[in-house]
Amino acid sequence: MNKKWLVFLGSGRFQISSIIKAKSLGYSIISFDMDIHAPGFNLSDLFFNIDIRNYKLILEKISQLKIRPLKYISICNEAGIQSEIILNYLNMNSVSDINEYLNKYLFLTNKYHQRKLFKKHTNFQLPKFQIFNFKNKDNYFNFKNKVILKPSDSSGSRGIIVKNKLSEINKNDFLYVKKYSSDRKVLIEDYINGTEFAVEAFVYKKKVEIILINKKIKRKGTSNTVAEAYFAMTIKDRLFKKIKMATEEILKNLSLLRKGYFHLEYIIDKKEKIYLVEFAGRGPGFHVFDKFIPFLTGYNIIENNLNFLLNKKIEQFNYKNNLYGLMYFFTSKSRKDKVQIKLNIKEKLNNINYEFGLFNNNKNNIKNKFTDEDRLGYLMIKNKNKKKLIENFNLMKKLIKIYWNDW
């Protein structure tokens, strides 16, 4: 019997649920990851320690195996999107001008190309933006207020710096941001003051489905760039409809280019003007995709995503956004803390609907709390009543103990 092969581009902790599900559905798995300790390697039939951005080397390995995969898959992984697009194209077509084909999809990962595309094809409000070069810093005089520097193609709040004014940017700031960008380009934008929201959406058969709208609660001491928690809004919330309509407008304009899951981030200022600040052609990371969405909606997103990618029938998404939900992230106190996390349940929890999990083992060496990568674990909780949700969260938080340097 011929095996049905799937190739996973990325085999980290946020891809594990999809690998396990694919195995349970009878598929054989080849996984690639540049991390030799990637947890998905042990779950795969074959694995290779290769940078998933190197599609040529991946293709060479697959050719050596004399395997034609059903699909190359990148789940909640920015780094693998371009390779996924190229390899699936080559899997179904003879070799042509790959660069010309790939250029159509640069907006999925490259922030500068995203902003140019949105400026051209939508009437959407964007922060003022430009490619930044420190050598010519004086030429950026049109940025008169607070600014933010970003790598042109990174994610997870990595490589982000906020400055009160242009003159505060020094060469080390520029080099720090640049090292997180694979194309070595840095983006400068006006810093927008306001409340940030993350939207998870699905485009399928010319329809835009809004899955979740999360208000991002920011962690202190991170220049307002790292989220401490996601608070899932309901249709009762005043801004829900406004954000939903904005997302539908953007994604309908892009639906001819790509289907599937999208992650968008907005900042809404005091005048309720909406600014699009982040966009990704993938599902969200940090277990929002494989944990928080199923927990809150009951939707089997992992299996349905695999079926979608393989052109199989998927279940209709029927969630009515009528539950409040909170996903809270635990982090270390400093760059050098060694920690141990325990959930101490010694009392009745009055039927609190929650889920608790760790991103790594109980004992971790955590670098810092200045990017999303430095999260230790999560607590998810849901309730129809907003006040009750917050009461339950405060109770649960007391039961989760983080021990510092005690082992």
306 and 290 in contact (C-beta within 8 Å)?
A: no
Q: Where are the domains of the chain?
A: 5-103, 128-190, 195-404
- The confidence score (pLDDT) of residue 365 equals 45
The per-residue pLDDT for 362 is: 38
d(CA 222, CA 218): 8
User: What does the pLDDT read at residue 367?
Assistant: 47
18 in Cβ contact with 44 (< 8 Å): no
pTM for the model: 0.86
Domains 5-103 and 128-190 share a fold: no
For 358, list phi and psi in degrees, rounded to 5: -110, 150
Mean pLDDT, the chain cut into blocks of 10 residues (407 residues total) = 91 94 97 94 96 94 95 92 88 70 75 82 82 87 89 77 91 91 88 93 89 89 76 90 90 75 92 89 91 95 96 89 91 56 63 82 45 76 94 86 53
Q: For the purposes of burial, counting CB atoms within 10 Å of the CB of 365, is it exposed (0-12), middle (13-18) or buried (19 or more)?
A: exposed
Exposure on the CB side of residue 391, measured as CA atoms within 13 A: 10
Number of helical (H) and strand (E) elements in the chain, helices listed first: 10, 19
DSSP state of 403: E
CATH class for the domain made up of 128-190: alpha beta
- Segment holding 308, helix H or strand E: helix 301-309
Secondary-structure class of domain 5-103 per CATH: alpha beta
Other C-beta atoms closer than 10 Å to the C-beta of 363 total: 11
**In this predicted structure, what is the pLDDT of residue 22?**
97
Residue 216, C-beta contacts closer than 8 angstroms, at least 6 positions apart: 195, 196, 197, 198, 227, 229, 230, 231, 265
In three-state secondary structure terms, 250 is helix
Q: How is domain 195-404 classified at the CATH fold level?
A: D-amino Acid Aminotransferase; Chain A, domain 1 (3.30.470)
CA distance 353 to 383: 7
What is the predicted pLDDT for the residue at 75? 94
Q: Could you please report the per-residue DSSP string of 93-123? A: S----HHHHHHTTGGGT-HHHHHHHHHHH--
Which residue type sits at 60?
Answer: E
Around Cβ 23, how many Cβ atoms within 10 Å? 15
What pLDDT is recorded for position 363?
41
Instruction: Please answer whether residues 212 and 298 qualify as being in contact, where contact means their C-beta atoms are separated by less than 8 angstroms.
Output: no
Q: How far is CA 44 from the centre of its chain?
A: 23
Which DSSP letter does residue 192 get?
P
Which pLDDT value is given to residue 347?
57
Residues 6 or more apart in contact with residue 327 via CB below 8 angstroms: 214, 229, 230, 232, 287, 288, 291, 292, 378, 379, 380
d(CA 8, CA 295) in angstroms, rounded, equals 24
pLDDT tens for each residue of 255-314: 656 789 999 999 999 999 999 888 888 999 889 999 999 999 999 999 999 999 999 999
- Angle subtended by helix axes 55-65 and 81-92, to nearest 10: 40
112 with 279: CB under 8 angstroms? no
β-bridge mates for residue 7, sequence order: 30, 72
| Cβ atoms < 10 Å from Cβ of 291 | 19
Which pLDDT value is given to residue 357?
A: 84
The answer to whether 67 and 55 have CB atoms below 8 angstroms apart is no
* Residue-level pLDDT at 50: 96
DSSP-based three-state secondary structure for 25:
coil
